[in-house]
Chain A
């Protein structure tokens, strides 16, 4: 079960990434999270685990409010004629094998 949204930003991919990869600019009022794979922290009240950080291309993480199942968020940047398209896909909530794979992923050294 996925929710997909996208937006075209009138800037190049590097400029778009600079803002996308700054959670406090748009994702949360308070971000206590290092953007490196395996890092765990919080975006506002949501527990968050970083899965992938590919500068200029992709950012993927898992998040969820206290006690809730985590959902996966993937942000992808693409060049388009008018700038950069940012596509977000939130999938979840995680059940089954995906959810059980999480603890091991969280232990990936930062």
Chain B
């Protein structure tokens, strides 16, 4: 889960992911035809996205076809919302504690 945002930090990789997620391209060759990068670069991006479990490749004859598996993304967003919410509460308590000491 920790790799999700790192995987999407690169703008080209975000584009690769969104093309695959939108179903507009499924293979490294198709992606390279759409994006201004080489097939080799696309393959590297796909490997990183696959490492973060954001896409999944399956052999189809000589090519590997990718589909998006965005579940880790919603896990990551849920984690950020939960952790952020807890810090909002703690910082609220910190503010109160500082005020209490100031008037003690």
> In the complex, what residue of chain A is closest to B82 when comparing beta carbons?
A3
Whether, in the assembled complex, A9 has its beta carbon less than 8 Å from a beta carbon of chain B, the answer is: yes
Least CB distance, B66 to chain A, in whole angstroms: 23
Q: Is the interface of A mostly helix, strand, loop or mixed?
A: mixed
The residue among B76, B79, B94 with the most chain A CB atoms within 10 A of its own CB is B94
Please count the residue pairs between chain A and chain B whose beta carbons lie under 8 angstroms apart in the complex: 62
Tally of contact residues, B, Cβ under 8 A: 22
Chain A residues near B98 (CB-CB < 8 A) = 9-11, 15-16, 19
Interface residues of A (CB under 8 A from B): 1, 3, 5-7, 9-11, 15-16, 18-20, 22, 25-27, 71, 86, 88, 90, 92-96
26 A-B pairs in the complex with CB atoms less than 8 angstroms apart:
A3-B80, A3-B83, A3-B84, A5-B88, A7-B94, A7-B95, A9-B94, A9-B95, A10-B102, A11-B102, A15-B101, A19-B94, A19-B97, A22-B97, A25-B97, A26-B90, A26-B91, A26-B93, A26-B94, A88-B91, A90-B83, A90-B87, A93-B1, A93-B2, A94-B2, A95-B3
